[in-house]
Structure formats: C-alpha cells, structure tokens
C-alpha cells in the first residue's frame, strides 16, 4: 500500500527535480511572456503566459494537492480570485455572502450589483435558519463562506451549509485565507470552490499580492481557467515563484503562528486592562466547538478589546515594540491593526456598531517571533508607558 504523504512533505517537495534540462532541484522560474512554437500549426502546452505558464502551474499544482481539489487557477490578487468566481454568474443570479466578510469582497459584490451584473444578499451565516430561509427565497447560484471572519473570528459551520445546499445547483465557495489547507480543507466539508488571498499565509512573507481559485471538478476548473485568460486575471510568474517558495514552510509557520496566538490569547484573557478576547482556540469563544470540529488548528489571528478609549489605544500602538501597525495579515512578522480606523474605516458608525467593531478593538496577526518577546511587548504596551526601545530593532525598522 502506498504510504500516506503528509501535507508538510507535499508542500516541501512540490515540483522538486522537475527540471529536465539541467536537473535543478528547485523548479526554475519561467518569466517568458511567450513560447516558441516547435512546429507550425501544432498546439502546445504553453504559448502565451496570460493563458498558461510553467511556474504558475507549479504553484497551482501544489495548492491543488494540499486542498484536495481537481485543479487551481493562480490569480494576481485575492480580489482577482473572487472576481474570477463571479464568471459563473448571470445578471439575475443571486450570491449570498456573509454580512461580516472582508470589506473588499462586500465592495466588489455591491458594485457589481449596482452595475446590474449580479444580485447579492448579505446574511449572518451563523444563523442556519436565516441562511436556509434566504436560500429558499433567492435560490442563489453561489453561497460564499468566509470562516473565521475578520476581525471578530466568528466561525460558520461549512458542512451544515453544504448539507442545506445538497439538493440544489448552488455552488459553495469557501474563502480559506485565514486557515490555509494546513488547518482547514473545505472540499472535505462539501465545498465546490476554495479561494485564497495567497498574499497572506500561503506566501507568508508580505512581499507578494496574489490569489488562487481551486476547483473541485474538471468542469469548474476549465471554466475558471478559461475566464482567467479572457479577463486577464492570471498571476505573474515571478509572484508564483515566490509564493511556491513561501508555501514550502507553510506547515511550520502555521504551527508557530498558532502556538504564539493561543499563548497570547490566554495571557490577554486574564489581563485586567482587557475587556474581551476573540480567538476561536479559547474554550470561551462562542463558536469554539464548530472550530474544533471542522479545523485542525485555530490559526494565528486574534482580536481583543481594551478597557480604554481612543487616546489610550493610540498610546498602546505607540509603545508596542515588536509589532508593525499595518493592514495585512498572515506574514511571518507580527502586525497590529486598528479595524475602526484602518481596515473597516469605510463603514459608517452604525455599520461598525452592528459588526461589533468598536474604537477599542485591536486585531493582531501574531507572527513567528519568540513567544516571550511577543507577549512581553504586548504586556508592556498595555501599561501605556514608554519603554526603552531595543536599539537594534529600532534601527531595523
Ligand atoms: C479573507 C480575505 N479574502 C480576500 C482578500 C483579498 O485579498 P488581496 O488583498 O490579496 O486582494 C483579503 C484581504 O485582506 C482577505 O482578508
């Protein structure tokens, strides 16, 4: 019997020794935009890079295997991946998306609806009765799920949603950016399409903007490939090369992110200056049980509310030593973000209140630095007093 290969080995060894010309261990990068025809009038695998490219295919193949899909299409960003999925829709087709999903996704679907290209409804998907009602009412072509949500880490039950959709033609699309195939494999839970902003954990080094659409079936994959070419959404070879390089350490990084995030969440939970901690790995998290059932890890993102106003929040950021104040997430480095004025600034105060985004909410993308440094830095900043900066790290900033 063939030995089961772990995800670690798969991602480490993806495409190694595939170079037939020189026997390079690491797959070479193919930057060429065009490929010479070997014979007049005879079709070949590669002719033009928007259509297909060997370096991009190497990344697509690796992520396909990790997710357990049929095939993948590498795109130029996470938003390009979501845009590509809309190629399945006609102007009278409905999409149901989470009421609290990534702001860029909300903006994309709202603006496409304004132009009459599709119809969209926002649903709190944690309430399965509400979702069931919406599915019966709108008969959507797509239900898009994003779990955990950003920034409050709410979890929705992918398998329960897939069961509701069983007898329908609705496609279940899961944005797996926050957990990656290391901690969640949506195809095993009934998804038809899995998307990622590879900008985040899959690349993991905050130096590429990219995305990917993994399809469960050949037909869906062919549709995605065809439309990526028509719309020109395909990712660049250089970005694919870097992303594949990042993917090789995904398992190690995810484990380190989670270990640090859980330890930080536990410390913050007992802290006198902290009002509430949002991390699915805490047993106190309202949807901890679903997370435990459908995920094999809790991820590296957490949010918390401090017991102060905006002035003190500003001080907290000022005194926080080993964190960069930035909007992205999923890189090896620790980032801190103030959703109220940064990622969710476009929402009205009422929308923010409804979404639970208050002025004292802080989101952290916990990096893989030494755990004691991460926790120590947060605890010192919570004192709201200036600490003596580490001269080396300040210079490095
Ligand atoms: C969950 C999720 N999906 C999609 C995107 C969009 O990805 P990108 O910024 O790579 O276009 C983001 C970006 O933050 C995200 O957090």
Q: What is the pLDDT of residues 16-69, one digit of tens each?
A: 999 999 999 999 999 999 999 999 999 999 999 999 999 999 999 999 999 999
Report the nearest-CA residue for atom 16 of ligand 1.
Answer: 102
Tell me the three-class secondary structure of 78-141, residue by residue. HHHHHHHHHHHCCCCCEEEEECCCCHHHHHHHHHHHHCCCCEEEEECCCCHHHHHHHHHHHCCC
Ligand 1 site-directed mutation target among 79, 154, 327, 344, most atoms within 8 Å of CB:
79
What per-residue confidence (pLDDT) applies to 344? 87
Of 327, 330, 311, which Cα lies nearest the Cα of 384?
A: 311
Q: What is the pLDDT along the chain (397 residues), one digit of tens a residue?
A: 456 789 999 999 999 999 999 999 999 999 999 999 999 999 999 999 999 999 999 999 999 999 999 999 999 999 999 999 999 999 999 999 998 888 899 999 999 999 999 999 999 999 999 999 999 999 999 999 999 999 999 999 999 999 999 989 999 999 999 999 999 999 999 999 999 999 999 999 999 999 999 999 999 999 999 999 999 999 999 999 999 999 999 999 999 999 999 999 999 999 999 999 999 999 999 999 999 999 999 999 999 999 989 999 999 999 999 999 999 999 999 999 999 999 888 778 887 887 889 999 999 999 999 999 999 999 999 998 766 555 455 544 4
Is residue 102 part of the annotated active site? The answer reads yes
Which residue ranges make up each domain of the chain?
A: 7-247, 250-396
106-160 per-position pLDDT tens digit: 999 999 999 999 999 999 999 999 999 999 999 999 999 999 999 999 999 999 9
Angle (deg, nearest 10), helices 371-382 and 310-319: 140
Which ligand 1 atom is nearest residue 210's CA?
10
For residue 235, cis peptide bond before it (omega within 30 degrees of 0): no
Predicted local confidence at residue 376, as pLDDT: 96
Asked if 302 contacts 259 with a C-beta cutoff of 8 angstroms, the reply is no
Query: Residues with Cβ within 6 A of ligand 1?
Result: 77-79, 102, 104, 146, 150, 175, 177, 197, 199, 209, 211
Does 7-247 carry CATH code 3.40.50.10320? no
> Residue-wise over 143-180: b if at least 16 C-beta within 10 A, else e?
bbbbbbbbbbbbbbbbebbbebbeeeebbbbbbbbbbb
What pLDDT score does 2 carry? Answer: 54
Would you call 175 a catalytic residue per the annotation? yes
Compute, in angstroms, the gap from residue 390 CA to the centroid of ligand 1: 33
Would you give the distance in Å from CA 297 to the centre of its chain? 14
Mutate to test the pocket of ligand 1, among 80, 199, 242, 345 (most ligand atoms within 8 A of CB): 199
User: Could you tell me the pTM of the whole model?
Assistant: 0.95
Ligand 1: nearest atom to the Cα of 81: 11
Q: Rounded to an integer, what distance in angstroms lies between the CA atom of residue 369 and that of residue 17?
A: 32
Q: How much distance in Å is there from the Cα of 19 to the middle of ligand 1?
A: 33
Q: 42 C-alpha to center of ligand 1: Å?
A: 40
The residue nearest atom 8 of ligand 1, judged by CA position, is 78
| Catalytic site residue from 94, 102, 322, 340 | 102
Contact predicate 208/56, CB 8 Å = no
Distances (CA, A) of 41 to 37, 50, 53, 295: 8, 20, 20, 50
Residue 397 is predicted with a pLDDT of 46
Q: What CATH number does the domain located at 250-396 have? A: 3.90.1150.10
Distance from Cα 333 to the centre of ligand 1, integer Å: 18
Look at ligand 1, atom 3, and give the residue with the nearest C-alpha. Answer: 197
Q: Which pLDDT value is given to residue 49?
A: 98
Q: Whose C-alpha lies nearest to ligand 1, atom 6?
A: 78
């Amino acid at each position: 019997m063939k030995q089961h290969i772990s995800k670690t080995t798969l991602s480490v060894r993806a495409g190694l020794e595939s170079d037939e010309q020189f026997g390079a261990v690491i797959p070479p990068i193919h930057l060429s935009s065009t490929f010479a025809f070997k014979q007049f009038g005879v079709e070949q695998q590669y002719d033009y890079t928007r259509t297909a490219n060997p370096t991009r295919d190497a990344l697509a193949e690796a992520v396909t295997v990790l997710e357990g899909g049929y095939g993948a299409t590498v795109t130029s960003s996470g938003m390009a991946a979501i845009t590509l999925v809309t190629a399945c829709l006609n102007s009278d087709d409905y999409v149901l998306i989470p009421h609290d999903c990534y702001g860029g996704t909300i903006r994309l679907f709202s603006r496409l609806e304004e132009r009459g290209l599709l119809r969209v409804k926002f649903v709190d998907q944690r309430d399965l009765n509400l979702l069931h009602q919406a599915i019966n009412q709108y008969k959507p072509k797509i239900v898009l799920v994003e779990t955990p949500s950003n920034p409050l880490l709410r979890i929705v039950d992918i398998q329960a949603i897939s069961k509701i959709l069983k007898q329908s033609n609705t496609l279940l699309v899961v944005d797996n950016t926050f957990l990656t195939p290391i901690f969640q494999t949506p195809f095993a839970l009934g998804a038809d399409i899995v998307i990622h902003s590879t900008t985040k954990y899959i690349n993991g080094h905050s130096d590429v903007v990219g995305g990917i659409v993994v399809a469960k079936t050949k037909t869906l994959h062919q549709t995605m490939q065809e439309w990526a070419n028509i719309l020109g959404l395909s990712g660049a070879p250089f970005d694919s090369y870097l992303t594949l390089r990042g993917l090789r350490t995904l398992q190690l990084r995810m484990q380190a992110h989670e270990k640090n995030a859980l330890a930080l969440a536990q410390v913050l939970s007992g802290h006198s200056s902290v009002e509430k901690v949002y991390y699915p790995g805490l047993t106190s998290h309202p949807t901890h049980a679903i997370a435990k059932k459908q995920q094999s890890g809790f991820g590296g993102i957490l949010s918390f509310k401090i017991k102060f106003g905006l002035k003190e929040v500003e001080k907290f950021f000022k005194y926080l030593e080993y964190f960069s104040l930035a909007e992205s997430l999923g890189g090896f480095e620790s980032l801190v973000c103030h959703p109220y004025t940064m990622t969710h600034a476009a929402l009205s105060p009422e929308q923010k209140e409804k979404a639970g985004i208050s002025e004292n909410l802080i989101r952290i993308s916990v990096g893989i630095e030494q755990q004691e440094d991460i926790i120590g830095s947060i605890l010192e900043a919570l004192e709201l007093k200036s600490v003596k900066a580490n001269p080396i790290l300040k210079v490095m900033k």
